[in-house]
Structure formats: C-alpha cells, structure tokens
Amino acid sequence: EVQLVESGGNVLQPGGSLRLSCAASGFTFDDYAMHWVRQAPGRGLEWVSLISDDGGSTYYADSVKGRFTISRDNRKNSLYLEMSSLRTEDTAMYYCTKEAGYSTFYYAMDVWGQGTTVTVSS
Amino acid sequence: DIQMTQSPASLSASVGDRVTITCQASQDINNYLNWYQQKPGKAPKLLMSAASNLETGVPSRFSGSGSGTNFTFTIISLQPEDIATYFCQQYDGLPPYTFGQGTKLQIK
C-alpha cells in the first residue's frame, strides 16, 4: 500500500523554527518528486514546495521563499520541510504529497498523507 | 503566477441532481488542470487530471472538460457520498501549482 505519514507538527511562537518529516512507503521513493501543500483552518489549499526525485531541484511558493527549505533522504524514503521565521499566517495543516508523474514529468499529486498541524501563536 | 478562479464557493443540490463547478485560469494552461475532492476531516484526493482523465476507481458520474482558460467539473447524478469540497489546480509548466478557492458541496 502506498502511504505517506507526516510528523513534527507543533504549537510554537512567531519567529520560531520547526522541522516536518514525511515517511514514504509502498513505492519507489527516488523515482518521484514530492510536494508539501498546506491548508489554513477553514481555508483552501496552498501549494508550498516541490523537490525533484533526486533532490537536485527545489521550488517554493513566494509566501515561504527564504524561510522554508524542502529536502529529502532517498536512503530513508523520507521528505522534510525545515520551517524558520514562522509567522501566524503559517498556521495550517501541512500535507506531504507524491507527484503522480514519473521522474521529471510533473502533472498532479496522486497520494496525500493525513497531514500534520502547525500552529504559530503568541 | 497563474491565478485560478473557481465558482461557486458553495453549492447546495439534491440527490440525483446534475452539479457543475467552473474554474477559470488567468492565462492559457492548455489542459493542465486537475480536480481534487476533500471530504470533511480528510486529506484531498485526486479525482481527475488533464482536465478530463478520471483516476482509477473514480465513479463515471464525475466528468471534466475544458481547455485553455475555462474548465468545468460535473457530477452527473449527485450521490450522498459526494458531499465534499472540490478544488481545481493548474499544473502548467514549473511551480507554483496554484489551486482554486474551492467549492463546498452540500445536500439540499
């Protein structure tokens, strides 16, 4: 069974830092790019970041550029999101998602984790 | 960045009704448009890619159409289990891959 399990969500103050993790199983992890997508409470979906299958290319939403860093460890089948200088507007459920397209062909997100909650509040 | 305008924001319909949701891109995205379903308290699920290609296992009462800037998502005969929020997403070129604002579908 293809599965993504996020962890690391927490409650923290503005300006803080946090590292989210996503454990992947059931597919050949290093064949696929991976994304983070977030959803603020009661709001819509916001694409956050993408990392290529080999980790060599990364992309970010303008709202997180310079503050968040996406990375992956293909030996551990794991995806990460390092978050720093957190703001109240970063409060959201963060989903790890698998790119549907093989290698560098990107077209959809076909597997989603259950999400991990990040709350930034003073 | 490409903006996606989805409408309506909410919709109430009866079981058996035909339901239509639209999504408009701020520029031509060819057919690089996906639709997701999110049930309450759950993660989103990919229903359809490339504007009209149903994912395996998705019921045939769901359909999609469109190209360029205007897209339509249709449920031919609404079922109680279709209660969810639906999102479109564009996937043209490199990121950001923006989502529409979502349409919350309820049973009348």
Could you read off the pLDDT of A14-60 as tens digits, one per residue? 999 999 999 999 999 999 999 999 999 999 999 999 999 999 999 99
At B69 the pLDDT is 98
- For B52-66, letters b (16+ CB in 10 Å) and e give beebeebeeebbbeb
B34: nearest CB among A46, A59, A108 = A108
- Inter-chain contact A44–B101, Cβ cutoff 8 Å? yes
What integer pLDDT is reported at residue A105 of this predicted model?
Answer: 85
Rounded Cα distance between B15 and B36, Å, is 20
Token code pair at residue A52:
């290529």
Helix (H, G, I), strand (E, B) or coil at B81: helix
The pLDDT, as a whole number, for residue A121 is 97
- CA of B93 vs chain A CAs: smallest distance (Å): 8
pLDDT recorded at residue A33: 97
Backbone φ, ψ for residue A104 (5° rounding)? -100, 15
B36 contacts B89 by C-beta, under 8 angstroms? yes
B87 touches chain A (CB under 8 A): yes
pLDDT in the model for residue A80: 98
Q: How far apart are CA A115 and CA A38, in angstroms?
A: 9
pLDDT digits 0-9 by tens, B39-86? 999 999 999 999 999 999 999 999 999 999 999 999 999 999 999 999
CB-CB contact of A72 with A34 (8 Å): yes
Tokens 């995806």, located at residue:
A79
Q: Count Cβ atoms below 10 Å from residue B51 Cβ, excluding itself.
A: 22
Interface test with B, best of A47, A68, A98 (most B CBs within 10 A): A47
Closest-CA residue of B relative to A94 is B43
Residue A103 has pLDDT above 90, yes or no: no
Q: Among residues B64, B46, B27, which one has the least CA distance to residue A110? A: B46
